Amino acid sequence: MKADRPKHIGARVQRFEDTRLLSGSARYIDDIRLPDMLHLSFVRADTAHANIVEIDTSALADLEYATWVFTGKDTAGLSMKAHQDYPEMQYSEQPLLAEGKVRFVGEPVAVVLAEDAYRAEDAAELVFVDYETLPVIGTMAQARDSSLPSLFDGWASNVIVQRQMKGGDLEAAKAAAAHVIKRTYSTQRQAGVPMECRGVVASYDHADRVLTVWSSTQMPHLVRTYISEELDLPESRIRVVAPDVGGGFGVKGQVFGDEVLVAWLAMKTGRPVKWIEDRREHLIASIHARDHQHTLEAYVSADGRLLGLKADITVDNGAYSTFPFTSAGEPGMVGKVLPGPYDFQAYEATFRAVATNKCAIGTYRGVARPSAVFSQERLMDDIAKELGMDPFDFRLKNIIRQFPYKNVLGFSYDEGSYAQSLEQMQALLAEDVTEAAASRSSSTKRVGVGIACFIEQTAHGTPDFTRRRVPIETGYIAARVEMSPDGEVTIDLGLQNHGQGLETTMAQVAADALGVNPENVYVRHGDTLTTPYSVGTWGSRGGALGGGAVHLASLKLAAKLKTIAAHLLQAKPDEIELANGNAYVRDAVQRFIPIRKLARAALRNVDQLPEGMQPGLEAEQRQDGPKDGTYSNAVHAAVVEIDIPTGKMKLRRFVVVEDCGTILNPLVVDGQVRGGVVQGIGSAMFEHFIYDAECQPLTTSFADYLMPLAPEIPNIEVHHIETPTPLTPLGAKGLGEGGAIGPAAAIANAVANALDVGVSCTPLNTNAIWKLSQHLRGAA
């Protein structure tokens, strides 16, 4: 007889954390209320580039309530330093509060503290800042014009960093090409918009000399490290807590100057200090994303083989470099990932970040890849069109089919389902393709089908960060698994859960290894006091690396449980199986002992332990990423319907075929994919952060910054292929970002298909579609 052994990994387990999150009982940063707390309001630059002549705070003295005010003079020397050790990169810092100069609208210039948040905001209005305005650097072209002044003293130009990556013989590829196709593509500047804005609370305990910082962050340990280094405090006396975080999407995956500043203010004033970011602050001054322009030149043989690719990439970085991914991160990522899922061996990319008087670019779901894939996949369609080939056929002709594949830059791709996912998508879209072709005869209503085929390097590990010389430095995720005397399990996880379902999926992983139910596993996270040092949740690594760490730590614990069980059941450890809360002797299930009795033996009735065994039931594991990461792949498809006279576009269908290796929980994967796709639809059609010529932001509220809304989103169909990777313990690849990477490309390709035009930029809003369809109205 064999024990019935439920497998929790892969099961459709409803998310445990949803009970808390959906019933309104979650605790977010704004729910942190401490006695004697002061509230902070920022005075922010209202001009994009200026010398600060004077900051006059004298009006605050007339208020009938107490206020505290601080400027850059008080915080002089404290700054955000985010540099990558490339000789080509120009160094800059962002002071916590502007010192002498402001470089974008929204830059913190002063702070006012008061005993309630309303009064702090009232008082902040009374701070008068006299500026001497300077000409702005507002566009990529201005930033590359070396005759214009630089944003920082000592800089040679406003090109922050320019580098190159290459592989193979590009000249030979060009010489052999029958077709040379050159195109320029660009993606618009966006804000990253979690439902909950950011916020920081800090409190300093003078007795124990312990600083506690609550922050709505994805990376509490890195916040701790940065504060420690900047404020010169021992890390052992800093506790950083990320409470429930209402969405992060990478926006909260950087350390911000305000986190250091609020901590400093709590120490300085001796009172707890709270800052809750409002939506306007979030939109203008947290981070921006996606502002890219790529010029690509493809060399293609007469029979439709991609021979080589040349790329020139510019990212409008804004004024400052963000920690820890820096302004070199975004362009570098494009250079690295542009070869994509296609088989060619000649490549050269020149990529640069330029400085402008705008909010800094930071990481936002997909990080450079939505822009890279937009260009890559628009190019594939443009080439196919030039060659008179079907977009599927052209891709299938060039897709990588042999694994592991060493790409033109030397990166090794583990096995994926590139061709299979394309073929599956082709079958799913057959009817839409026919309908789209039939709509060509109409000058009023057109249907278009577009696809985006891409891979995503996920689960980056330490080797990848070392290679990139990025100050994140390390990539491992740690997990500590502990069983208490009653047999209940606690996981202290180095990840922070802000929507990923980690409290459920990590419990599923541990449950399988330990033979308990996921309901008996409590996942703790987001608090540096309880969780082992890790770099946080970002970069599509939670499932792959966090899951791996939990799995291996749980196996260590399981081994000890089996040894104890074997001792008590008079069997051999390798005969023991753990399932359903019991330890069984394999093939003799009547011989069993409840796991909780083993736990009790390990921790309380220790006289029952085998001779020489140490009491205790805990295990820890750090899981780093593989050298080149592990590559997820997906094909996205959009079917659009366009009303030619008005330019109104309806997204009729959005289909995803994705492969993230082993699926830990299909509900969670579907949710991650769908959420990402919605954000990708935002990139494709709606979201655009706009500055005018003076770098004044025009889209500073949700009235002007348009997020995708539910009525505009079709049912998103998700199909899975599972190709487990040998590179992570569970075979899982990363999937958190993929959903956001494909939609802009797929929708743009659908528009190009519907209107029979080239599409070179996003957002494809109604006005843009109307302009792109001009030629069809002319004919009507």
Confirm if 90 and 147 have CB atoms less than 8 A apart.
no
Residue of the chain from 264, 413, 538, 686 that contacts another protein (CB under 8 A): 686
Tokens of 98: 């502007």
Residue of the chain from 434, 704, 726, 775 that contacts another protein (CB under 8 A): 704
Report CA 662 to chain centroid distance, whole Å: 21
Binding pattern for the stretch 619-648 against another protein, x by CB under 8 A and - elsewhere: --------------------------xxxx
Minimum CB separation of residue 767 from another protein in Å reads 5
Tokens of 614: 């140490």
Stretch of 128-136, 275-283, 303-311, 483-491 contacting another protein, by CB under 8 A? 275-283
How far, in Å, are 30, 48, 59, 344, 598 from residue 39 at the CA level?
11, 26, 19, 57, 51
Using rule CB under 8 A, residue 169 touches another protein: no
Stretch of 4-12, 274-282, 408-416, 575-583 contacting another protein, by CB under 8 A? 274-282
Minimum CB separation of residue 121 from another protein in Å reads 5
Minimum CB separation of residue 37 from another protein in Å reads 16
Stretch of 77-85, 320-328, 498-506, 693-701 contacting another protein, by CB under 8 A? 693-701
Count interface residues toward another protein (CB under 8 A). 31
Q: Which residues of 436-454 are buried (b: 16+ CB within 10 A; e: fewer)?
A: beebeeeeeebbbbbbbbb
- Is the alpha carbon torsion for 604, 606, 609, 612 positive or negative? positive
- In the bound state with another protein, the residue whose beta carbon lies nearer, of 51 and 701, is 701
Minimum CB separation of residue 700 from another protein in Å reads 9
How far, in Å, are 200, 326, 450, 548 from residue 363 at the CA level?
19, 9, 27, 24
Using rule CB under 8 A, residue 711 touches another protein: yes
Using rule CB under 8 A, residue 708 touches another protein: yes
How far, in Å, are 5, 26, 264, 488 from residue 507 at the CA level?
16, 19, 37, 11
Minimum CB separation of residue 706 from another protein in Å reads 6
Using rule CB under 8 A, residue 690 touches another protein: yes
Using rule CB under 8 A, residue 63 touches another protein: no
Separation between Cα atoms, residue 502 and residue 509, nearest integer Å = 10
Does an H or E element contain 40, and which?
Answer: strand 38-44
Query: Taking CB under 8 A as the criterion, which residues in 75-134 touch another protein?
Result: 117-118, 121-122, 125
Report CA 495 to chain centroid distance, whole Å: 13
Minimum CB separation of residue 645 from another protein in Å reads 4
Residue of the chain from 49, 294, 688, 733 that contacts another protein (CB under 8 A): 688
Minimum CB separation of residue 540 from another protein in Å reads 29
- In the bound state with another protein, the residue whose beta carbon lies nearer, of 467 and 648, is 648
Using rule CB under 8 A, residue 652 touches another protein: no
Q: Which residues of 46-55 are buried (b: 16+ CB within 10 A; e: fewer)?
A: ebbbbebeeb
Smallest Cα–Cα separation from 306: which of 202, 190, 396, 207? Answer: 396
Using rule CB under 8 A, residue 765 touches another protein: yes
Residue of the chain from 93, 115, 169, 278 that contacts another protein (CB under 8 A): 278
Minimum CB separation of residue 85 from another protein in Å reads 40
Separation between Cα atoms, residue 638 and residue 659, nearest integer Å = 18
Smallest Cα–Cα separation from 172: which of 306, 302, 304, 308? Answer: 308
Separation between Cα atoms, residue 547 and residue 248, nearest integer Å = 20
Furthest-apart CA atoms within the chain: distance in Å: 91
For 14, other C-beta atoms within 10 Å of its C-beta total 11
How far, in Å, are 222, 491, 661 from residue 551 at the CA level?
24, 11, 16
Radius of gyration of the chain (CA): 28
- In the bound state with another protein, the residue whose beta carbon lies nearer, of 38 and 233, is 38
Using rule CB under 8 A, residue 443 touches another protein: no
Residue of the chain from 264, 364, 584, 770 that contacts another protein (CB under 8 A): 770
- In the bound state with another protein, the residue whose beta carbon lies nearer, of 2 and 777, is 777
Residue of the chain from 706, 721, 757, 761 that contacts another protein (CB under 8 A): 706
Enumerate binding residues for another protein (CB under 8 A): 117-118, 121-122, 125, 278-280, 645-648, 686, 688, 690, 698-699, 701, 703-704, 706, 708-709, 711-712, 765-767, 770-771, 777
